[in-house]
């Protein structure tokens, strides 16, 4: 019964294959990196582990955006802010792990504070020497910001372009704030020069592999949670709010609460992605708040296919792999390519790669079904299979409304 529910239709099957692949990668990739000698054909080089680990964090960020944009129609142009806040929380933990090994050798104060002549730790740095505390903050800070921001925005019935603009303003304001030295987050330079995480050297191959595995597991968990949310009654409500907000209001639901929940969950997911990203790249600075970063996340999601669970992951991996390749070959043209990609996606692939694939498969099957003799086909009631085709032809790849 349960397995039947799990494998009820194609989209669900794809979600579970994705989770399986991610969990498999979490085990296999570290083994191939650590246990095999570097000259083996199956050896995964360390730079590759770090690179793909970074992409997995981006994929989790894109999935978080998809939950609000693809399923609820909230085009957030500020999701990079939640990612960066999660990253800063992790960065603060890593800074405090440096201890007296910094340039100035101060056991309590990070280097930049000594440099600025600060005498004691600001109150908001308390507790970050503990991993559990930092782990809670990674989720709490982005979640709280999203909750407060969303509470005001959704209650005032700010929607469409206006909402997109204020999310963009939010991340820009944070960018400016974090650039300031007196904010106490390292200003321009951000937080870097990390040494240990949980007592292990962040630079070590084993640690890097472990963080890769953690990223893959976190993404798998994110996929599962998103899937569970989307398939609940609440998930249906989320889509209902996207398609006909006033209708939900006139049957007694409060769309602002529906949106607020999704927005908060999404921000927490983005924060976790940021926290896993920082130890892999070894730095967090205010540049992560840049509006352009948040817009890039929108592009990943659009390319992969918004309103699907696997789409944003595929999009984030494809675009970032493309970016790594492109910036190696033709560095000065990457931004043009990215812009062109977004325009091309909007014009020719409005449903993204995954949505297009579904659409293509559905028409292919329909053509096949139409070719069958009439006695075999056309039962009165649609079979679950047919329902799934219908769903994937229209509902499964919904046409998100343009921002009103």
Minimum CB separation from another protein for residue 312, in Å? Answer: 18
Residue 355 — φ and ψ, nearest 5°?
-60, -40
From the list 141-149, 207-215, 240-248, 324-332, the region that binds another protein by CB under 8 A is 240-248
SS3 86: helix
Minimum CB separation from another protein for residue 379, in Å? Answer: 12
Minimum CB separation from another protein for residue 391, in Å? Answer: 7
Angle at 384 between CA 378 and CA 386, to 5 degrees: 45
Minimum CB separation from another protein for residue 70, in Å? Answer: 12
Q: Which of 361, 262, 364, 355 is nearest to 314 (CA)?
A: 355
Q: Whose Cβ is closer to another protein: residue 108's or residue 148's?
A: 148
Among 12, 193, 196, 243, binds another protein (CB under 8 A): 243
The CA distance from 210 to 216, in Å, is: 10
Considering only residues 157 to 216 of the shown chain, the ones binding another protein according to CB under 8 A are none
Q: Whose Cβ is closer to another protein: residue 87's or residue 396's?
A: 396
Binding-site residue total for another protein (CB under 8 A)?
Answer: 31
Among 201, 232, 346, 385, binds another protein (CB under 8 A): 232
Among 107, 199, 252, 379, binds another protein (CB under 8 A): 252
Residue 197 — φ and ψ, nearest 5°?
-130, 125
The CA distance from 50 to 277, in Å, is: 10
Q: Six-digit token pair at 126?
A: 């308390």
Considering only residues 382 to 401 of the shown chain, the ones binding another protein according to CB under 8 A are 382, 387, 390-391, 394-395, 398
Q: Which of 261, 284, 228, 357 is nearest to 57 (CA)?
A: 284
Among 249, 318, 327, 334, binds another protein (CB under 8 A): 249
Determine if 250 is a binding residue for another protein (CB under 8 A): yes
The CA distance from 243 to 237, in Å, is: 10
Among 6, 152, 234, 360, binds another protein (CB under 8 A): 234
The CA distance from 175 to 335, in Å, is: 21
The CA distance from 304 to 318, in Å, is: 8
Minimum CB separation from another protein for residue 245, in Å? Answer: 10
């Amino acid at each position: 019964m349960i397995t039947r529910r799990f494998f009820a239709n194609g989209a669900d099957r794809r979600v579970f294959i994705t989770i399986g692949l991610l969990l498999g990668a979490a085990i296999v990739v570290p083994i191939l990196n650590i246990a095999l000698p570097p000259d083996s054909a199956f050896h995964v080089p360390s730079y590759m582990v770090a690179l793909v680990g970074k992409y997995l964090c981006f994929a989790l960020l894109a999935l978080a955006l998809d939950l609000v944009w693809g399923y609820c129609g909230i085009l957030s142009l500020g999701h990079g802010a939640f990612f960066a806040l999660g990253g800063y929380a992790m960065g603060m933990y890593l800074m405090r792990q440096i201890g007296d090994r910094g340039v100035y050798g101060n056991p309590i104060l990070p280097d930049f504070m000594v440099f600025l002549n600060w005498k004691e730790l600001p109150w908001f740095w308390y507790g970050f020497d503990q991993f559990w505390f930092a782990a809670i903050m990674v989720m709490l800070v982005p979640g709280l910001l999203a909750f407060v921001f969303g509470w005001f925005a959704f209650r005032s019935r700010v929607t469409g372009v206006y909402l997109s603009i204020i999310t963009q303003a939010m991340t820009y304001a944070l960018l400016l704030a974090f650039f300031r030295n007196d904010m106490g987050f390292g200003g321009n330079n951000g937080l870097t020069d990390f040494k240990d995480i949980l007592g292990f050297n962040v630079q070590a191959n084993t640690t890097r592999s472990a963080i890769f595995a953690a990223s893959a597991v976190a993404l798998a968990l994110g996929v599962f949670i998103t899937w569970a949310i989307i398939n609940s009654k609440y998930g249906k409500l989320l889509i209902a709010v996207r398609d006909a907000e006033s209708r939900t209001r006139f049957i007694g639901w409060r769309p602002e609460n529906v949106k607020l929940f999704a927005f908060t969950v999404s921000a927490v997911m983005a924060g976790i992605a940021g926290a896993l990203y920082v130890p892999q790249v070894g730095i967090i600075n205010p540049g992560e708040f840049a509006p352009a970063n948040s817009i890039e996340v929108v592009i990943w999601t659009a390319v992969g296919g918004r309103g699907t669970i696997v789409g944003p992951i595929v999009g984030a991996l494809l675009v970032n792999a493309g970016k790594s390749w492109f910036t190696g070959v033709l560095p000065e043209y990457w931004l043009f390519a990215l812009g062109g990609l977004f325009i091309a996606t909007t014009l020719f692939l409005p449903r993204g790669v995954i949505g297009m694939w579904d659409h293509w498969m559905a028409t292919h099957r329909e053509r096949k079904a139409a070719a069958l003799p009439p006695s075999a086909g056309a039962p009165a009631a649609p079979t679950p299979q047919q329902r799934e085709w219908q769903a994937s032809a229209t509902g499964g790849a919904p046409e998100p409304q343009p921002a009103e």
